[in-house]
A and B are shown apart, each in its own frame.
Chain A
Amino acid sequence: KAGVTQTPRYLIKTRGQQVTLSCSPISGHRSVSWYQQTPGQGLQFLFEYFSETQRNKGNFPGRFSGRQFSNSRSEMNVSTLELGDSALYLCASSLRGNVEAFFGQGTRLTVV
């Protein structure tokens, strides 16, 4: 079956702009989580959505937001981009909550 699909794979944005990233989970999976990966901070949890509701949230500013649609696809949005937002953003899906999570290939965001 198809894996987790993230689009786009690469993005270059300018400081102050906003960006939307998309994640399509494995069919049947209702939980989608987002992680930020940087060389300095490693892998950090952003938020998790389950059945269109945010269930968990990490320690990120309000510029980072997300949502989940009825078909379980999820988007995350970052507003007023800063240079420090440059990172690999990873989406993970699971049946119901991270007991076994499957990751997409990620979206590489570069802020210039």
Chain B
Amino acid sequence: GDSVTQMEGPVTLSEEAFLTINCTYTATGYPSLFWYVQYPGEGLQLLLKATKADDKGSNKGFEATYRKETTSFHLEKGSVQVSDSAVYFCALNRELTALIFGKGTTLSVSS
């Protein structure tokens, strides 16, 4: 079945460092790919998405490119802030099916 694998955390960075969180997937067909973020005590917020190969999703300085050849959707940000500290989830779905999530990666940014 479909699945998502994320790098395990926690990831600890200093402010203004470069961030990469790896995500790979296994799925039949052409799923849509997502990154969600969860702040402490909150639900999930959609951070960015990509619906077809080579699409780049971007939002708030975060970017991820849908790579069909490597089945990957790595999240990157050039300069992280303390306010980016949260748990990040990579997810996929095909239309009319449930979201399948990775285990989540905790990011901690210190000033």
Query: Would you call A98 and B43 a contact (CB within 8 A)?
Result: no
Fill in one digit per residue for B95-109: 1 if any A CB lies within 8 Å of its CB, else 0.
111111111100000
* A99 to B100 Cα, complex, angstroms: 12
The listed residue (B46, B49, B93, B101) touching A42 by CB distance below 8 A is B101
Q: Is the CB of B101 within 8 A of A98?
A: no
A13 and B40 CA atoms in complex are apart in Å by 23
Query: A66 interface residue, CB < 8 Å from B?
Result: no
From A35, A92, A97, contact of B96 by CB (8 A): A97
Give min CB distance, B33 to chain A, whole Å: 12
| Interchain CA distance A103-B98 in the complex, whole Å | 13
Complex Cα gap A98–B62 (Å): 22
Contacts of B104 in A (CB 8 A): 42-43
Contact between chains at B98 and A42 (CB < 8 Å): no
Chain B: minimal CB distance from A42 (Å): 5
Q: What are 19 of the A-B contact pairs (CB < 8 Å)?
A: A35-B99, A42-B103, A42-B104, A43-B101, A43-B104, A45-B98, A55-B96, A56-B96, A90-B43, A96-B96, A98-B93, A99-B32, A99-B51, A101-B46, A101-B99, A103-B36, A105-B42, A106-B42, A106-B43
Question: 15 additional contacts, CB 8 Å, given A98-B96, A98-B99?
Answer: A6-B43, A33-B98, A35-B99, A56-B96, A58-B98, A97-B95, A98-B95, A98-B97, A99-B51, A100-B46, A100-B49, A103-B36, A103-B45, A103-B46, A106-B42
List the interface of chain A (C-beta within 8 A of B).
4, 6, 33, 35, 42-43, 45, 48, 55-56, 58, 90, 92, 96-106
